[in-house]
Structure 1
Amino acid sequence: MNGDLVIAVLVVGLVVRQQLRTRPVRRIGSLIIPAVLGVLGVSGIAFGIASVVKDRPLAALPVVLLVASLAVAAGFGAARARTVRVWRGPQGEVLRKGTAATTGLWVAAGGVHLGLGLWIDHAARAGVLGTASLYAYLAIGLGTQNLLVRGRAAAL
């Protein structure tokens, strides 16, 4: 699991770093990373469920908490989208750049996911369902953020 944690920290670090760079708003490119994370997330959740059900039936509470966690990810994505600066560049292209508030919300989202993940795993009394859902959490949060930023860019 230590290798998985290192990879997860690297992925989150790269996503946050990318957020702080000035870059163009793209129609499709902004959804590729969330899609890849989504595939990893679905496989992580499937692995987490399998790790729980091998020992006992999966109770309702961990599932409810998992769904709530993913809803929280969407909420953080929506909040972060409001903190991203969007403007027209000198060539007429639409640019974006995250702010310190964007970074703060990423840190808060990570802390919330960690807490909810531990609660999910405690409620399941086995397995790694909560921690295995990190990629799904990132996919939903980043996807929501990118869709909303694209909407703001289209309005310019």
Structure 2
Amino acid sequence: MSALVDVLVIIAAVALIAVRQLRPQRVTADGRRWLVLPVVLVVVALREPGLLDQHHRSLSVLLLGAELLVGLAMGVGWARTSRLWTGQDGTLWSRGTKATIAVWIGGIALRLGLMGIGALADVHQGTGALLLALAASVLVRRGMLVMRARTARPPYGDGSAAAGAATEPWKDRV
């Protein structure tokens, strides 16, 4: 793949992920739907021939591992800073907060630092590591949101609605 196509894929993926996180979106456990973007990112990343630098293999593997750890940490941060709430119809929704934006900025700064370390060590870094880290971030975020949704939902049938009490939609604040 050409460098221009790589850059366009990364920009499109980051834009899609950022927009989806900052807009309300329904949280469902349907694995097929939320696996599409990470699978596409992994396939594109693994098609790259230069995922590891052949001349600096050890450092390249170390940087790739660090990139994946940053991606996993960002996914955890995105999930922990997302607000969850139950809509009027009982569906669960999520939306990123200002803290989610801070996690994005911190993650980008860490990634730039890793790129700088690689450049100083003369390690060739392709876009594959970034795409793999994005895929890991999306998977972790979505998995954690689904887990939070399962554990944080209010119990149904507690009798308050039957007694005529107004029920407030459940909200999880960060």
TM-score range, shorter chain: 0.7 to 0.9
Which of the residues 93, 104, 107 maps onto 1:106?
A: 104
Native 8 Å contact 2:44 2:128 kept in 1: no
- Counterpart residue identity of residue 19, structure 1: Q
CA distance, structure 2, for counterparts of residue 31 and residue 97 of structure 1: 19
Specify every segment of 5 or more residues in structure 1 that has no aligned partner in the other structure, as ranges: none
Q: Deviations over 1:54-101 (max 9, x none)?
A: xx3x43122112112201211121111111111111111111111121
User: Which residue of the partner structure matches residue 25 of structure 2?
Assistant: 23
Secondary structure of 2:51's partner?
helix
Change (3 A) 1:137 1:85: same
Alignment coverage as a number of residue pairs: 148
TM-score norm. by structure 1 comes to 0.83
TM-score norm. by structure 2 comes to 0.75
Which of the residues 36, 46, 50 maps onto 1:47?
A: 50
Task: Between the two structures, name the one with larger relative contact order (CA 8 Å, sep ≥ 6).
Answer: 1
Secondary structure of 2:89's partner?
coil
User: Which residue of the partner structure matches residue 37 of structure 2?
Assistant: 33
Would you identify which runs of 4 or more consecutive aligned residues in structure 1 move more than 4 Å? Answer: none
CA RMSD of aligned residues (A): 1.9
Equivalent runs, 1:43-122 vs 2, <5 Å:
43-44=47-48, 46-49=49-52, 52-53=53-54, 56=55, 58-122=56-120
CA distance, structure 2, for counterparts of residue 24 and residue 9 of structure 1: 24
Larger Rg: 2
Specify every segment of 5 or more residues in structure 2 that has no aligned partner in the other structure, as ranges: 154-174
Offset of residue 121 of structure 1: 4.5
